Chains A and B, each alone.
Chain A
Amino acid sequence: MMMGAFACKERFNPPEVDTNLNYLTVEGLINTSGVDSTIIRVNRTVKLTSKVAIQPELKAILTIESNDNLVKRTLVERSGGIYYALPFALDATKQYRLRIRTSGGKEYLSDYTEVKVSPPIDAVGFEAQTNGVQGLQVYTNTHDATNKSRYYKWDFVETYKYNTNNFSSYIVDGRSIRQRNLPGEDIYYCWRTINSSNIVLASTLKLTNDVVAKAPIKKIPPGDERLGIRYSIIVNQQVLTKDAFDFWEILRKNTEQVGSIFDSQPSQLQGNIHAVSNPAEIVIGYISAGTIQRKRIFIDAGEVPVEFRYRRSGACPVDTILPKDYASTFYSGGQIPLDALTVPPSPTPIAYTTSSTGCIDCRLRGTNIQPAFWQ
């Protein structure tokens, strides 16, 4: 009865919007902690059809100002539209804003915003969920005894250790093949780091106490490679003002909603940054001031239910390469030798085995340098 066709989801490509609107986008936090740097990213919007996602705004002058005019701190351009200032503590009772002067001479100002100091994260935990959408749910708990925080935003960075299918003991060194120096030249184990692209928000406004219990941060689907060896996540917590929360909520609604039967209409995004000469000009972004709290946890595959663990799939067939083919395969072909075939007692290999690079070299998707925080 073709019931599978009851509902169906397919790609919808909007008509190309040809004009490049070139709106300024500003992202960042005026970090008042004195511990962390302040990092502000200034970019431009691009066309939907554009292959580049980021069009940085270069050579702008960014200044942090306080509402009593006593603080004026100019940021330094690092690269690609990223501007920073080294840690400096700011008085949390004052209000701050950001001034941007573009290389084109246009001036932009954010609204003065109060400082929101984040309470520490109480815990980051995880649990296997077998109801609803299955997965390993990473959550966070926090609270503010003063009941003043109320609006929370989290982002996170995930790192996990993984290995490839085939272990390579040999390395191509110029026009020869030699044994790998381990662990320095190991390409079997790697670490992959993924920055969060989700906006995670929560409000405790409707609770009697400013307590966040098990706010879902990240759900790892069963069988994901993250759950193969060891996984780590660091959660960054920020407290927002109501206005900032609204901005992030709209941003989240506009871009991360999942197709559901009850959709709401997208909303127009309004930030707190305005062009000084033309208040009607659209500027995307919200500049907040405050501090960030962090917490990192590690999850070993052994702590995860067996059925959630990563199961390697896909075949990695091994070929044998004879010396006449070394040049075309290894020296110039870019293939990586796995093991040597020898005929004892001669130690000289008569051939090397290999397979596709993706089955051998973990660095294609990560780094084989262990991160400093890794335990």
Chain B
Amino acid sequence: MAQQQGAKLIDVNLQQATITQFVSELEIKTGYYFYYEANKFDSLRVTVQLNQVTLKTVLDAAFKNTPYNYAITAQQQVLLTKGLTIQTQLAAGFFNSKPVVPGAKAVPVTTDYTVALAEKQVVEATSENKTYEIGIKGASKTGTVTLAGYVRDVKSGEPVIGASIYIAALKTGIATDQFGYYSLNLPRGPHILLVRGLGMKDTRRQVVLNTDGKLNIEMQEQVTTLKEVKISAEKVANVRSVEMGVNKIDITTLKQIPAVFGEADVLRAVLTLPGVQTVGEASTGFNVRGGSADQNLILLNDATIYNPSHFFGFFSAFDPDIVKDIELYKSSIPEKFGGRLSSILDVTNREGNKKKFTGSAGIGLLTSRFNIEGPIDSNKTSFIFGGRTTYANWLLKSLPKEYKNSRATFYDLSLNISHQINEKNNLYFSGYYSADSFRLNSDTSYAYGNRNVSLKWKHNYNNKLYSVITGGYDRYQYNVGSSLNPVNAYKFNFDISQINFKADFSYFINPKHTLSFGLNSIRYQLTPGTNKPVSNESLIVPEKVPGEQALESALYLGDKFNVSENFSINMGVRYSLFNYLGPQTVNNYAPNLPRTTVNLLDSTTYGSNKFIKTYGGPEIRVSARYIVSENFSIKAGYNTLRQYIHLLSNTTAISPTDVWKLSDPNIKPQFGDQVALGLYKNFSSNTIETSVEVYYKRLKNYLDYRSGAVLVLNQNIETDVLSTRGKAYGAEFMIKKTAGKLNGWVSYTYSRTFLKQDDPNAGELINGGAYYPANYDKPHSFNLIGNYRFTHRYSVSLNTVYSTGRPLTLPVAKFYYAGAERVFYSERNQYRIPDFFRTDFSINIDGNHKVHQRFHNSWTVGIYNVTGRRNAYSTYFAQEGGVINGYNLSIFAKPFPFINYNIRF
């Protein structure tokens, strides 16, 4: 036998042969059988040209300077191994064959290549143990190459967003974008990629980089988690990302926050973040870093949602079963976003499961929801559809007498379709439809709804450059109607619609520079109000505030510049331009006099699509990060923003009767800038994250109202608003425990917001022209979100919120007038309502965790407002029979139990 090993002489001539080619060649020529683990050899390329040699010589030559070894048995078998040698003998002399001499030590592959492995060939990397060869083995062994690809969920085929790909040896890494796409610049040679994704099992991939190439990585869902894997993705993000003031919540975290009625709620979760404050109890309007509620841009799959709440704000507009994650930008706002001063809330829905049909349903006291997802054709196209509805009238019937005749219903529908045209092109369709209607005891009924569609096309030009082109249509509308008194029967309508176009490009130039650039355009069409009679007897004059049109455009360019390993800067500039368009009649007022009807000179009428007024200017977005040590970094940022649309609201919450108004020649756009500084430090191997951020903001042209302003159907709205200047500053502290049975976060925020109206030409000074606290100025705010997991199936969650009461204009004196005692109010916002405090508690019970059962179910049982504190929803004074009484209206003034049942299939 030993003779045979050397006996048969063969000719071998192979160029860049893979292991398969190599083995089959030898099997044919020698008659030996080869045994090997293919995936361990797939990075091997064999180039040998030998004539009349033995098998052993061929193998020696082929595996020279590689980690591979071989053993030839007496049974004419060849065992190929990596790293270790197989002894083919059990004992010396048992067989005639001799032990095999192990191969030499590994050196980098130096073989020339001739087989052109196309760059477009995408490696699907599914195994941790394989080594993936990327690109074509080339002569060069220095320099860097680009590796790009998608990270996907192996089960559903959905992209894993925000997964981090980290190369420990180089201390470098990147996170996947909203498509699960990543692109990395790495030195040629072998690397180990550590991949971590939210709710996914950590995994790693071994690659050898030769030239630019693609590597798709599939990850497995973490079915039961003891350690929250999602957090490890943020380990990189928290300290290492250049952005500051960005908070991300994934659906897993979201579902652990106790929510009223047991339904996970996107906006309620956002409200627990530092720097974010609720407008009021049972309201999803929110204020970010001293900004008003209308200064938040709320995006759902890139579509603008103008009213993010259902049912008086008890529910947010986003279907928790479809939402994938939520990102709130409150400081470093990427240059691709604009149009609002305070924050961008970016809500992303999931892509449907590409491999099989799944779904879930939830039943609660007030709402039910259902969703289904699945492939449309195998692996290329998938859809996800969700719907929610309410049956809450019974709750309203239990309200105090004055609300007994109230009604409220809502529903919403979401549909997302994603389609992979080919490796380079992906299409995403997203649709959202919501409808709310309610009546609060009186005969007046309200109805409102959002409608959004968008189509997104993602195209990869090459590994370094990709683009996303988005087109969409967004609409928000409401109507208010009454028909009790036929003489006054009316229906009032408001709507705003916008057509969006966006082209966003990402260009990874090299490890030091990543460029983003693009352009956005929004065409607004706004109907500020129409009032129509609804009966023949009605004397209501059909009235219409003329529609408004405008075009908001922006060009932007940003560079993520890694100056050194520890120091990175994101520099961006966005030039935004706003054109107020005809047809329109614009009032002209006497210069330097208050804009009142008395000072109205004349008006100018402009034709259709005529440029009436153009505003614009550059917006600067800079943020920088310096890593002081492995788990400690400092970040700073400066932002300027412009906002061309205003919400006219005499109430502090977004209510369905508020009117949006575009900037026009008489109402200037809002302008804001912010400077912020943050310190980030992680402890206990990154399981405890701490951060401190401070900011200072300035506002210009924020609208406040004259006393007794009428905002609805006002033909001269500019006469009822006042332009104010503002300043806001604050500090945000956060401690987050990200792993272990006990996890959650504690945040404390100190923040102040002041406005000032000191233009003597405005006709009315507010508080004599001094700074006054804005309606939403709440200096102290504290949040605690805690989650304790007893077992895989049982966990408890606690949510505690405290904040200073919002400012209030108080009565300070009383007097007798028109037959009754009346009150005289203080200067604007000089007092405060009682502080807000609430604790919610919930128990989450999961069904068993057998992976292969048909249905998975879970229960959420909890109590909203455990302490039963009567937090003020509204504080007011009412004159009743000549006596003045102050009242505090609170909603959920007692512990409110809830239960919710969820099923997944």
Contact = CB atoms under 8 A, between A and B. Distances in A.
Interface of A: 1-15, 17, 20-21, 23, 25, 27, 43-48, 50, 53-54, 131-133, 155, 195-199, 206-209, 211, 213-214, 246, 248-251, 253-270, 280, 282, 284-285
Interface in B393-410: 395, 398-400, 402-403, 405
B813 A265 contact: no
A265 B766 CA distance: 14
A214 B826 CA distance: 36
Given A1-B897, A208-B539, A251-B817, A11 B889 contact: no
13 contacts: A6-B398, A12-B875, A12-B887, A13-B886, A23-B815, A132-B484, A206-B543, A255-B884, A257-B878, A265-B651, A265-B828, A268-B828, A269-B707
Contacts of B881: 197
Contacts of A269: 707, 824-825
B400 A270 contact: no
Interface in B678-737: 706-709, 713
B38 to A, nearest CB: 63
Of all A-B residue pairs in the complex, the 4 with the closest CB atoms, nearest first, are A197-B820, A5-B894, A267-B707, A3-B398
A131 B441 CA distance: 10
Contacts of B885: 11
A295 B583 CA distance: 49
A285 B488 CA distance: 31
Contact of A53 (B403, B651, B814): B814
A249 B875 CA distance: 20
Specify the main secondary structure of chain B where it touches its partner: loop
Interface in B850-881: 868, 870, 872-879, 881
Interface string B529-553: 0010000000111010000000000
B758 to A, nearest CB: 14
Contact of A214 (B443, B487, B657): B487
Contacts of A264: 650-651
A53 B882 CA distance: 10
Contacts of A6: 395, 398-399, 891-893, 896
Nearest to A213: B487
B398 A11 contact: no
Interface string B814-835: 1111111111111110010000
Contacts of A48: 811-814, 823, 884
A263 to B, nearest CB: 5
Nearest to B531: A206
Nearest to A153: B818
B707 A268 contact: yes
Nearest to B312: A261
Contacts of A285: 817
Nearest to A81: B816
A74 B788 CA distance: 80
A285 B709 CA distance: 19
B658 to A, nearest CB: 10
A248 B822 CA distance: 12
Given A214-B485, A251-B817, A132 B405 contact: yes
A10 B823 CA distance: 19
Contact of A14 (B819, B886, B892): B886
Listed residue (B398, B441, B657) with the most chain A CB atoms within 10 angstroms of its CB: B398
B890 A7 contact: yes
A109 B547 CA distance: 43
B818 to A, nearest CB: 6
Given A213-B487, A257-B876, A270-B707, A265 B650 contact: yes
Nearest to B885: A11
B440 interface: yes
Contacts, number: 219
Interface size class of B (residues with CB under 8 A): 35 or more
B708 A284 contact: no
A132 B400 contact: no
Contacts of A270: 707, 764
A288 to B, nearest CB: 12
Contact of B484 (A131, A155, A263): A131
B713 A206 contact: yes
Given A9-B889, A132-B441, A262 B813 contact: no
Contacts of A155: 818-819
Given A7-B891, A250-B708, A259-B874, A266 B825 contact: yes
Specify the main secondary structure of chain A where it touches its partner: loop
Listed residue (A11, A54, A196, A262) with the most chain B CB atoms within 10 angstroms of its CB: A262
A209 B533 CA distance: 14
A249 B708 contact: yes
Nearest to A4: B398
Contacts of A2: 894-897
Contact of B890 (A8, A256, A267): A8
B402 A133 contact: yes
Given A48-B884, A199-B818, 4 more contacts: A6-B398, A6-B399, A7-B890, A267-B706
B835 to A, nearest CB: 14
Given A8-B870, A254-B825, A46 B895 contact: no
Interface in B540-591: 540-541, 543
B366 to A, nearest CB: 11
Contacts of B540: 206-207
Contacts of A260: 440, 874
Contacts of B823: 48, 254-255
B5 interface: no
Contacts of B365: 1
Interface in B731-781: 764, 768, 775
A73 B821 CA distance: 30
A20 B543 CA distance: 47
A132 B442 contact: yes
Interface string B349-376: 0000000000000000100000000000
B809 interface: yes
Given A43-B816, A285-B817, A7 B399 contact: yes
Nearest to A270: B707
A255 B822 contact: yes
B266 interface: no
Nearest to A139: B485
A206 B713 CA distance: 10
B874 A263 contact: yes
B868 to A, nearest CB: 8
B814 A43 contact: no
B309 to A, nearest CB: 13
Contact of A266 (B398, B809, B882, B894): B809
B812 A10 contact: no
Listed residue (A9, A131, A246) with the most chain B CB atoms within 10 angstroms of its CB: A9
A268 to B, nearest CB: 5
B825 A45 contact: no
A48 B884 CA distance: 9
B815 A46 contact: yes
Contacts of A46: 813-815
Given A17-B813, A197-B882, A267-B708, A27 B893 contact: no
Contacts of A23: 813, 815, 824
A208 B541 contact: yes
